[in-house]
Chain A
Amino acid sequence: MAEFPSLLEFADDIYTCNRTRCGFCREECPVYRVKRLETYSSRGRMLVARGLMEGILEPSVEVQDLMDECLMCGYCEARCALNNMDVFSTVRQELREAGFASPRHERTSAKILDEGTLFARPTPFRRVGTVPLYLGCAYQSKPHEVKKIVSVLEKVGIDPLVSDEVCCSYIVGAIGFKDEFGEAQARFRQVYGPHLEGEILTVCPTCTATLRDEYGLKVKNAVVAVAERIQEMDLKPLNKRVTYHDPCHLGRMLGVVQEPRQILEALGIELVEMEHHGIFSTCCGGGGGVLDVDRDLAIEVSKNRIRDAAAVGVDTIVTACPTCQPTLLRGAGRVANELDMFVDVLDLWELLDEALES
C-alpha cells in the first residue's frame, strides 16, 4: 500500500473517478484520439494512479512513458470537477523520486537551470520603456516575431520595457522536477526582481499562466491589452477566412477566449470555429513535454488539429502561442497529402502587424 504516499491526498478524486466512469474526459483527449486505448485517456490514467497508490502497479519505465505522454493540456479538467492534472503532476513527481524520469527531461531541466533558457537565442532582446514586458525564452528565440510584437504594442500606445529575463521554467515543473522548479523560480525572482511588484505584460500563454499560478504574480497577456485598445486603432482590413486555435494555457487556463476573437473581428477577418474551441479547445501536440519524449505522438496530435481545421473548410489557422504555431505547422506539412491541401498557421501578432502597417 501507498507506494506513492503523496497520491493519498488525492484518494477521494481517484476513487470518485474510478467508480464513476462517465467518460466525459475521454473522446476528445488529444492523446486518446491518437491511441484509442483507455489507458491514455484521463480516466484510464486515474485507474493507473490508483494502481500506483494501492501498490497494484510498481513504478516502471512503462508507467513513466505513459505519464510522460500526457500533454497536460487540461482538457480533462475542463470536462470534470476532479483535479486530474494535480494527480498526474504528483505521479510524475513521485516517479522521478522513485528514479523514473526520461533522460530527455533530465537534459531539458539541466539546460534551463544551467543556461536560464530552454531555447537558443542569438542576442537577447532588450528595450527601454515603461511597461514591463516579459517575452519568455520561446519568443526570445524568435527575433523576427519579437520585432512585430513590439511594433504592434508601440502602435497601440504601449511602451514596453524588456529587461534581463530567464525562463519561467514551466516545463521543469510540468515534468515533475519539483526541487529543480523551486530552484528555477528562485532564480527567476532574482533576475526579474525589479518588476515583481507591479503588473507584467506577457506574450507567451504558458509563461503567463505559470507566472500567475506558480509565482503568484500579477500578469496580463498582451493579447488582452491589445484587445482593450483595438477599437480605437486605424486598421487595414485583411481579407481572410480563418479558424482560431485557442492555445490551452491562453484559453482554457487563463480564460482569454473572447479577446483574440475580438481582434480578428476588428481586423475584418471571417472566423469559422472548429468543433473544439474556447475552453474545450484541443492541444496542438506541443504541451507537457511530449515533444521531447515522443515526437511521433506530438505530430499525430498536431495532425488531428489540422484535420479539425480542414473539417470546417478553412485553410488558415490563427493562433497566439510560440509553441502552438510551429507545432501545428509541422502537423500541417505531414497531413497535407492526405487532405490535398496545406493548412497554413499564422501568429495573431503577424496579422496585427500587417493590419497596423499603415
Chain B
Amino acid sequence: MTDQDKVEAALAELQGFLGDRATDGMLHRMAYSRDWSPRHKQMTDLPDIVVIPQDTAEVVQIVQAALQYELPLIPFAGGTGMGGGVVAWKGGIMIETKGMNRVLEIDPENMSVTVQAGITIWELNEYLAPFGLWLPHQPESKRACTIGASIGCDNDSTFGVRYGKILDCLTNAVVVTGHGEAVRVGHRKASFSSTGYNLMHLLVASEGTLGVVTEATLRVVTLPKTREVRGWVFPTLIDGAQALERILASGLSVESAHLNCRQRLHFYTHAYRENYGKEPEIPDWAESILFLSFAGDDDVVDFGLGKARAILEREYRAELVREQEIVEGYWDSKHRLAFIPFKQKWPDSQRQKKFGSADVGVPFGRLEEMYHAFIEIAARHGQQILGMTVYNESPNKVSPSISFAIFVDDSTEETVQKFYWYVREMSLKAVELEGTMSTYIGDGDRLGGFNEREHGLSYQYMKKVKGLFDPKNIMNPGKKFESRWIEP
C-alpha cells in the first residue's frame, strides 16, 4: 500500500466508528498545523487525518487502526506548547483530546477528582470551586492547557514552590499504549505506592510518545481563603535566590516564588510608566525582582508577609516594591490571566515579535553563572534578550526552572534556525553546570537525540522503554529521540 492508500483506508475505518468525528478535510488539517513553538511564520505541518474521540474505548480503536496501517498518532491538547510537541511533521492521525472533557468522579471526602484528560485546567477548577477545592497545578497556559497536556509536557506551575507540579497531584492515570491497550497506572487515590514500578511517573513529560493519556485521578486541595502578592528588588540576582532559601528555612510556607532578572523587571516598570504616566520608585541598583505570594487564613498570611519582609529587608538589603500596581500587573499576567493578548503595555506583547525560550534547569548555586552565559550566548548568536525568569517548582525548595527568553525573528528559515542554535548552546551550558536542557517545554521536535548528551547511557534505556510501550513507533514519532532543528 502507498502512504496515501494507508491514509484512505485508515480514514474509512476510523469513520466506521467515529462518523464525522474523523476527517481528512484540508481546513481541519490546517487548523491543527501549528503550536506555539518558534518556526518560520509560513511553516505548516499538516496531519493527514483529524479525529475527535470521546472516551478511552474510542482511543483504543483509533490506536488499533493506526497500528494496522502504521500511521503516526499525535495527541493534541492545548496547542500552547513551545517545543513542537504536537506538530505532525511526519503526518499521521491527530487525536484531538479535548472531546474527552468530562469529570468522571468527584470525591470531596478524599479530596480527589477523576477526569477525562481533555478537560482544561481552567474548566476543572471552575468545576471544583463550589466544593471549596482546586487543582494547584497552574501553568500560565491553564486557560487552554488540559490535564493530559500537563502530564505529557510536565509544564510549570505558578504555585510549584508550595504544591509541586502535576506529578505531585497525580495519583492514577489511564493510558492507551502503542499496543492499542488501555492500561491503568498509578496508585488509585492513594498518594504513594511502593509496589511494582511506578509506571505513572514515566508518563509525565512523555509527550505522547508512550501512549495517549485518557483519564487521570488527581489529589486536589482546599481553596485558600485569602492571598497576598508582593515584590522585592535585590542588588544582585543570587541575593534573590538565597533570600528565598532563607525564607523557606525559616518555616514559612510560600505559595509562589518567581525571580526575574533586571531586563524582565524593566518590562514591568515600562508597563507601569505607560499605564500610569509616572516613574516608579525602583532603585537604580535593582538587579532582580522576586515576587512572592502567600495564601491561607488571613492571620497566617499577615504573619507570613511580615516575617518574609523582615528577612528580606533586614538580612538581604531588599526593598519592597512600593507600586503595588506593578505587582498586580505581574499577577494578572501569571495567575489571573486578566489581560488581553497583544495589548499589554510591555514590549514582549508578541504583536511585533515572537518570543522563544531556552528552558534549562541548573542547581541554584549556578544561577548567576548561567545568567551570565545567557547574556553572552544570546549576544554571540545575535539574539535580542527578553529576560530571565526563575520559577521554583518543588515544594518548599529553591528549585529553579528557568525561562531564558529572547525575541525570535520568524521571518525567514535562517533566522529561526539561529534561535535553535542559541537553544543548543544554552542546553550544553546547562549540562556543563550539572543541570538539564529542559524543565518545562520538553524535548518536542527540538532536543531529541541531542538530549543523549545529557542522559548518556540512560538514553539507551529510554529507547528501550519507548519500545516496550510503543513497539511500532506510532506514538508521536519524531519527538524525544529525533530533532529537526538541532543536530545530535
Contact = CB atoms under 8 A, between A and B. Distances in A.
A36 B96 contact: yes
B342 A80 contact: yes
B80 A36 contact: no
Interface stretch (B33-41, B106-114, B154-162, B379-387): B33-41
Most buried by B among A19, A45, A51: A19
A66 B341 contact: no
Interface stretch (B22-30, B217-225, B437-445): B22-30
A39 B36 CA distance: 16
Contacts of A56: 26, 30, 44
A81 B344 CA distance: 9
Nearest to B350: A20
A48 interface: yes
A47 interface: yes
Contacts of A43: 79
B144 A26 contact: yes
B163 interface: no
Q: Is the interface of B mostly helix, strand, loop or mixed?
A: loop
Contact of B350 (A16, A38, A47, A66): A16
Interface size range on A against B: 20 to 34
A39 B98 CA distance: 13
Contact of A27 (B34, B99, B120, B340): B120
B232 interface: no
Contact of A39 (B28, B42, B122): B28
B372 interface: no
A24 B341 contact: yes
A157 B259 CA distance: 60
A4 to B, nearest CB: 14
A236 to B, nearest CB: 34
A36 B96 CA distance: 8
Interface in B73-123: 76, 78-80, 96, 98-99, 101, 120, 122-123
B41 A24 contact: no
A229 interface: no
A345 to B, nearest CB: 24
Contacts of A285: none
A3 interface: no
A79 B123 contact: no
A80 B36 contact: no
B126 interface: yes
A66 B96 CA distance: 18
B335 interface: no
A20 B340 CA distance: 13
B141 A23 contact: yes
Interface in A24-64: 24, 26-27, 36-39, 43-45, 47-48, 50-51, 54, 56-57, 62-63
B244 to A, nearest CB: 29
B340 A22 contact: no
A36 B31 CA distance: 12
B354 A80 contact: no
Contacts of B30: 39, 47-48, 50-51, 56-57
Given A36-B96, A79-B341, A80-B340, A23 B144 contact: yes
A11 B401 CA distance: 35
Contacts of B99: 36
B27 A63 contact: yes
Given A51-B30, A62-B27, A81-B342, A19 B354 contact: yes
Nearest to B36: A21
B354 A37 contact: no
Interface in B28-68: 28, 30-36, 38-39, 41-42, 44, 50, 52
Given A23-B78, A27-B122, A36-B101, 16 more contacts: A21-B34, A21-B80, A22-B143, A24-B144, A24-B337, A24-B341, A27-B123, A36-B52, A36-B96, A37-B28, A38-B76, A39-B28, A47-B33, A62-B25, A62-B26, A81-B341
Interface of B: 25-28, 30-36, 38-39, 41-42, 44, 50, 52, 76, 78-80, 96, 98-99, 101, 120, 122-123, 126, 141, 143-145, 337, 340-343, 350-351, 354, 410
- 8 closest A-B pairs by CB: A23-B144, A81-B343, A44-B31, A39-B31, A81-B342, A21-B36, A51-B30, A38-B31
20 contacts: A16-B351, A19-B410, A20-B350, A22-B80, A22-B341, A23-B143, A24-B143, A24-B144, A27-B120, A36-B101, A38-B76, A39-B28, A39-B50, A44-B31, A47-B33, A56-B30, A57-B27, A81-B340, A81-B341, A82-B341
